[in-house]
Amino acid sequence: MTTTAPQTPAVFPAWFAARQHDAWERYLATPAPKRGDETWRFSNLKQLNFEGFTRGAGVSPTADLVARSTGLEKTAAKFVFINEELVHSETNLPQGVICLPLAVALVSHSDLVAAHFMKQETRLGSAKFAAWHEASVSNGLFVHTGDHIEVEGTIEVHHWISGANTVIFPHTLVVTGKSSKVRVIDIFRSEDDISPGLAIAFNDLSAGQYSQLDYVAVQALNEVTRIIQINETSTARDASAKGFILNTGASWARNECLSRLEGPGSRSDMLSVSVPAREQEYDQRTFQHHVSEGAYSDLLYKNSLYDNSKTIFSGLIFVDKNAHHTDAYQTCRNLLMSDTCEANSMPGLEINADQVKCSHGSTSSQIHDEEIFYLQARGIDPVSARQLIARGFSVEVVERLNDVATEEFVLSFIDDKFAHIDTGGA
């Protein structure tokens, strides 16, 4: 692991420098995950050797990567970062929305950032890496919508890793005001297919009263790159937050998603689609924390596993003692597309309140021969038939984004992944 303290740029406010200093101390003092840690059960701890990764030294010619930063046809704003450095931005946002690179917002809206930046305790295993992120982060995106502002369209953020052995610390902080609405999509990609990279990413989502906050992360890094992505969401009274994670890339990805339902009547949808193939490993840990009464959370994670890939899902619904009338659901489904893939699921539930409706479940299954027979009997070859079924399996989650353009964009990454699976799982 790295042992050189990152330097906080002098232009950043004192509180931030102090936070980074403390975080670095915490990073050094926190032991690395070890075998036997419940939060790393089934994990491949060898993936946590991050020796030799350094911050990207300068940015290589950018025109190509900006051109490759294709996304939605229409966006409310678009940002392109290469190794955390902003290289392109365009915005068409209504007044009352602050949407700035974090490096800028830290200076121009210091108090606002301070009020929301990394407020929750990282409790799903990656406290050390969250501290590393906090000590190191220098950029990302800050979005703050004023009250009663609905942002039409999506704020699209591209995060590129360029150069071999580069580590990035992208941060996305989204705060919605009362009765406002916004959708942000992060896209993580590598400049080429051969350069190993590392991303320690963090996204903070704070949904204000009656607001709607949708967040999508598309992880399509190259297959020699690793990523730890920590998502922390909080919902105020009657707020609705939706978080969606797509994993198609990286050699190893660890997602930790925590939703804290703080306000009565609030809602959190936690969604994920993963399509690992070859030797890819995706390790996902979730926490649905019902603090307030009458809140609703629904988690649906779906994995289609090909070749020798591996997934781990560990989820906990935790209902505090005063969180009566909670509705909480958690489902993880694995579609096993080969005989050598491995899906591990550990659903969990802890209820301390009365009158709650909770369910959790996990299933692993293969495509039934009769399903394949049916599709083949319509003239569809077996490889295409399997992919059609696997795509359909993922579509059920993607459709919950409830925005056709975003759904199509996400599906384009899934289709691209299918196109790069040689066996088709047949």
Partner 1 sequence: MSLHIQDLQATLEDGTEILKGVTLEIPKGEVHAIMGPNGSGKSTLSKVIAGHEGYVVTGGSVTIDGEDIEEMSIDERSRAGIFLAFQYPAEVPGVSNANFIRAALQARLPKGEEIDAVAYYKNLYAKMDLLEMDRKFTARAVNEGFSGGEKKRNEILQMMMLEPQYCILDETDSGLDIDALKIVAKGVNAMRSPDRGMLLITHYQRLLDYIKPDHVHVMAEGRIVRSGGPELAHELEKHGYDFLKEAAMA
How far is the C-alpha of 321 from the C-alpha of 394, rounded, in Å?
35
In the complex with partner 1, the residue whose CB is nearer, 301 or 393, is 393
Q: What stretch of H or E contains 410? A: helix 404-419
Tallying the residues shown for the chain, one arrives at 426
Q: What would the two tokens of residue 169 be? A: 């610390």
| Nearest Cα to Cα of residue 373 among 388, 385, 387, 390 | 385
Q: Which window, 70-78, 174-182, 338-346, 382-390, contacts partner 1 (CB under 8 A)? A: 382-390
How far is the C-alpha of 372 from the C-alpha of 312, rounded, in Å?
27
Q: Which window, 225-233, 235-243, 262-270, 371-379, contacts partner 1 (CB under 8 A)? A: 371-379
Among 393, 409, 413, 418, binds partner 1 (CB under 8 A): 393
Within 10 Å of residue 396's Cβ, how many Cβ atoms? 12
Q: How far is the CB of 97 from partner 1 (least distance, A)?
A: 34
Q: Which window, 63-71, 282-290, 358-366, 370-378, contacts partner 1 (CB under 8 A)? A: 370-378
Whether 236 contacts 212, CB under 8 Å? no
Q: How far is the CB of 408 from partner 1 (least distance, A)?
A: 13
φ/ψ of residue 42, rounded to 5: 70, -5
Residue 98, interface with partner 1 (CB under 8 A)?
Answer: no
Among 375, 403, 408, 412, binds partner 1 (CB under 8 A): 375
Residue 70, interface with partner 1 (CB under 8 A)?
Answer: no
Residue 252's contacts (CB-CB under 8 Å, 6 or more residues apart) are 44, 47, 226, 227, 280, 281, 282, 283
Q: Which window, 18-26, 149-157, 253-261, 374-382, contacts partner 1 (CB under 8 A)? A: 374-382
Residue 304, interface with partner 1 (CB under 8 A)?
Answer: no
Q: How far is the CB of 73 from partner 1 (least distance, A)?
A: 18
Among 52, 94, 361, 392, binds partner 1 (CB under 8 A): 392
Residue 363, interface with partner 1 (CB under 8 A)?
Answer: no
Residue 382, interface with partner 1 (CB under 8 A)?
Answer: yes
Within 10 Å of residue 343's Cβ, how many Cβ atoms? 23
Q: How far is the CB of 274 from partner 1 (least distance, A)?
A: 15
Residue 396, interface with partner 1 (CB under 8 A)?
Answer: yes
Q: Which window, 59-67, 287-295, 314-322, 369-377, contacts partner 1 (CB under 8 A)? A: 369-377
In the complex with partner 1, the residue whose CB is nearer, 147 or 371, is 371
In the complex with partner 1, the residue whose CB is nearer, 7 or 373, is 373
In the complex with partner 1, the residue whose CB is nearer, 292 or 394, is 394
In the complex with partner 1, the residue whose CB is nearer, 29 or 404, is 404
Residue 31, interface with partner 1 (CB under 8 A)?
Answer: no
Q: How far is the CB of 368 from partner 1 (least distance, A)?
A: 8
- For every residue of 200-231, DSSP letters joined together read EEEEEEEE-TT-EEEEEEEEE--TTEEEEEEE
Whether 273 contacts 394, CB under 8 Å? yes
Whether 45 contacts 34, CB under 8 Å? yes
In the complex with partner 1, the residue whose CB is nearer, 253 or 398, is 398
Residue 87, interface with partner 1 (CB under 8 A)?
Answer: no
How far is the C-alpha of 263 from the C-alpha of 333, rounded, in Å?
29
Residue 52, interface with partner 1 (CB under 8 A)?
Answer: no
Residue 372's contacts (CB-CB under 8 Å, 6 or more residues apart) are 382, 385, 386, 389
Q: Which window, 115-123, 178-186, 258-266, 380-388, contacts partner 1 (CB under 8 A)? A: 380-388
Which residue's entry shows tokens 């407020």?
119
> Taking each helix axis from N to C terminus, what angle separates 127-136 and 14-29, rounded to the nearest 10 degrees?
150
- Chain residues that interact with partner 1, rule: CB under 8 A: 368-371, 373-382, 384-385, 388-389, 391-396, 399
